[in-house]
């Protein structure tokens, strides 16, 4: 296991999260602490960010997931976020995550939340990486000139580009950027580059509440 760590502490995200009716109607704050285990020696010696993990990208990914998914349970959010970070950032060996809702227990506690730790052994093999009660995370590779067409979608879907030159409709996606396609629409993408491109798809199950 890697001895080194990258830390993102106190990330603040306003989002829909919770099972009670009042929590489904308005956003509330969620505080996030992330710890990524990976080998940072090459990055430290060479001064090369590509040999590390960009913490700004990690913070952006976590915020995008929380705001897109409108989670019912923090437990589901934690499983999907850790799985996504491991899939999206291949240098990371292990993710430790803490999610806290400071408004969950007013007058009783400062916050309520969950904490967990996942490593690469917790990801599935092949295309399908993770399945929860609400969504599935899978990885799809596109050869040069290859296309992906899904739809009409059974549930809201977020596509995340892992590199290359990817076009989705009129939108060009740079590496690390995401696109959301809503239920009932068609998601269509093409790899315009000269090398293969991997994409991550987080797809809500048909009929999943949120």
Give the whole-angstrom CA distance, residue 147 versus residue 125: 23
Q: Mean pLDDT over residues 3-9, rounded?
A: 96
Structure tokens at 161: 């580009």
Give the whole-angstrom CA distance, residue 99 versus residue 11: 10
pTM of the model: 0.93
Q: In the prediction, which pLDDT does 170 show? A: 86
66 Cβ contact list (under 8 Å, min separation 6) = 13, 15, 17, 30, 32, 77, 81
Segment 88-136, tens digit of pLDDT: 999 999 999 999 999 999 999 999 999 999 999 999 988 899 999 999 9
Q: In the prediction, which pLDDT does 21 show? A: 93
Segment 50-100, tens digit of pLDDT: 899 999 999 999 999 999 999 999 999 999 999 999 999 999 999 999 999
Q: In the prediction, which pLDDT does 34 show? A: 98
Q: In the prediction, which pLDDT does 203 show? A: 95
Mean pLDDT score of the chain: 93
More confident residue, 184 or 205: 184
Band the pLDDT of 193: cuts 50, 70, 90.
Answer: confident
Segment 94-107, tens digit of pLDDT: 999 999 999 999 99
pLDDT over threshold 60, residue 209:
no
Q: In the prediction, which pLDDT does 58 show? A: 96
Band the pLDDT of 175: cuts 50, 70, 90.
Answer: confident
Q: Mean pLDDT over residues 163-178, rounded?
A: 86
58 Cβ contact list (under 8 Å, min separation 6) = 6, 8, 34, 36, 85, 89
β partners of residue 54: none
Total residues found in the chain within this entry: 210
């Amino acid at each position: 296991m890697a001895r080194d760590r990258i830390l993102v502490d106190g990330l603040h995200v306003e989002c829909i999260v919770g099972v009670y009716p009042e929590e489904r109607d308005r956003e509330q704050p969620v505080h996030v602490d992330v710890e990524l285990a990976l080998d940072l020696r090459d990055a430290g010696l060479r001064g090369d960010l590509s040999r590390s993990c960009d913490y700004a990208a990690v913070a952006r990914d976590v915020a995008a997931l929380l705001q897109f998914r409108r989670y019912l349970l923090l437990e589901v959010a934690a499983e999907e976020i850790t799985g996504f970070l491991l899939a999206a950032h291949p240098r990371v060996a292990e993710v430790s995550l803490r999610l806290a809702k400071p408004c969950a227990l007013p007058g009783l506690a400062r916050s309520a939340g969950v904490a967990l730790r996942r490593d690469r052994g917790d990801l599935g093999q092949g295309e399908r990486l993770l399945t929860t009660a609400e969504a599935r995370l899978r990885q799809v590779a596109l050869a040069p000139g290859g296309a992906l067409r899904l739809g009409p979608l059974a549930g809201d879907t977020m596509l995340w580009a892992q590199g290359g030159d990817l076009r989705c409709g009129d939108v060009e996606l740079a590496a690390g950027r995401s696109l959301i396609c809503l239920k009932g629409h068609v998601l269509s993408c093409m790899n315009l580059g000269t090398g293969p491109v991997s994409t991550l798809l987080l797809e809500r199950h048909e009929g999943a509440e949120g």
